Chain A
């Protein structure tokens, strides 16, 4: 037993989940230590770059007035790329950006529905909130293992000399890699990362002047847009690409299932470079300088891959718990909510001085009642659906492109002909029955 001081609770990882947990605990007077392996919170944290406000605003009311955010998102787009063309759908509304009346939003209290963020800045700010509330933040310190006594987690082993720390409970929010390192030991052996449950996303941050961004994306000053892309943007892999506008940079990236990368032998670097070179994308980023190149594994196993979320002396939240909604590209808000709920469960457990699995079962109940698991349950079939219907990502965008071209191209052929050609463009690639079955299965997968 080392001579290190004892804590009430140890939180592993200062991302959205861990910081939300530490902040909630510290505010309740719990003696909490927050371990982060990066040089500072955010140094190693990666996401596409859209942060939803609702959950964070519960934790830090009025956050948008002080947090380092990039742009409030006024417009969201879905683009379908074929090899040389693009079909676009988008929605812009001032109702997305209350509190930004001067820039075209509605004159309301705010916050905007979502903001683009750079995690290196945002996570640092967020973690400081936990520190201000009284959490002890220890950076550059990796938690390498959990300490067990009589089948119960009693602390953590860090990678430093004299690195053991003990506490009544540990909240693990150490990202996806914890699934392989920490979590298998705490559960019943059915765990570990499976390549078909994980997406590999690569992203570049490309510097561009503010004005150029606003011109190219047709944005009111200070406002932001998001574009999600399917089709040729991932070089034939099942996945989604994205372009998000930051204050003076663009986040551009591509994510595809790890199992697809393995099967195809494609290199993530080539996927993003091909994407950037697409004729519809190139002008958006022309003249920009690549400032950062990032990669991240996203747990997209969905509801069925959610591991055991608690046990004697521990709870699991955020990416470590597979709490990512890949359909709506939500993750950090699920992380924050799960971190907060784990903390609240701990606070109640502390009153009873009962840190057993029975006591922490309330965490699972709270998640079940929250949007976190409700949403994941809704999409529980989506993973299987996409696996068994690769055409959704691969042939549909080409189909749409071909149909649109035939419908819109003016060649003096009668319009009735055009319509026929358009239908043909679709049915050449997928029979009417196939289309209907895709639709039906998709609808079923999301009920």
Chain B
């Protein structure tokens, strides 16, 4: 069983700030992490390998710095981690990214046929949740989003059964392989990689694949292949702070009375028949 995990290196959102003038993200000096949902996708792939054997290949598209994210995946125990990097890929939107990743999965399949592709349900920086489904569509794979549990794989019949986390409950679904899953964080808890894996990761140099190597239509890649036009990025309007009634420590009775007055004026408490 060969799983390919699509991951994205994202800025650690706990550290991101907005430029108040331009409204864009200030990314300089912000540490990068593997998109947290993708780590759960990787864990699911590793768990499947533990159970059914096979291999796990990780892929990401990005600048050379993304090698750090790939090493992280090796430290959890992935067999191989590939970096798709080329000037031709720069500026890709979700449409173009899914095209490039599809080319890469096809290329990987030439060596080791792919049974399953996994990705996080979405990336925490863009939140689009479009790339996984885009890759499934282009590959012609069955698409199972919001997977919270893999019930099992039937290697003979080439079938997979999963639970999907939906708003109204869970859906248990069986489909044929190859398939693509997007995974939610409730699916599993991340393992603590073994020491041999961690030591391998430190020295691991991810192979870099460029456009010429994976092939494909140049007009569908990078800026040229990206019809999405970002008009404006802006932070949501800040909410006005709530009113703080002072003096609670010194004269709690007066402060409480003032609070009741204000609430009464808004009709939040009291009204007809309320005690004086």
Contact = CB atoms under 8 A, between A and B. Distances in A.
B28 to A, nearest CB: 15
A4 B196 contact: yes
* Range, interface on chain A: 10 to 19
Interface string B189-215: 000111110110011000000000000
A165 B196 CA distance: 10
A158 B199 contact: no
Contacts of B192: 159-161
Contacts of A137: 202
Interface in A240-288: none
Residues of A contacting B: mostly? loop
Contacts of A138: 195, 198-199, 202
Contacts of B199: 4-5, 33, 136, 138
B200 to A, nearest CB: 10
A141 interface: yes
B202 A160 contact: no
Contacts of A161: 192, 194-195
Contacts of A165: 195
Given A136-B203, A137-B202, A138-B202, A158 B195 contact: yes
Pick from B193, B199, B202 the residue with the most CB of A within 10 Å. B199
Interface string A146-166: 000000000000111111110
A189 interface: no
A4 B200 CA distance: 10
Given A160-B192, A160-B193, A141 B198 contact: yes
A140 B202 CA distance: 12
A414 interface: no
B202 A162 contact: no
Contacts of B196: 3-4, 162
Contact of B194 (A5, A140, A162): A162
Nearest to B72: A140
A268 B196 CA distance: 41
Interface of A: 3-5, 33, 136-138, 140-141, 158-165
Return the 7 tightest CB-CB contacts between A and B, nearest first: A161-B194, A160-B195, A163-B195, A162-B194, A162-B195, A162-B196, A160-B194
24 contacts: A3-B196, A4-B195, A4-B196, A136-B199, A136-B202, A136-B203, A137-B202, A138-B195, A138-B198, A138-B202, A141-B195, A141-B198, A158-B195, A159-B192, A160-B192, A160-B193, A160-B194, A160-B195, A160-B198, A161-B192, A161-B195, A162-B196, A163-B195, A165-B195
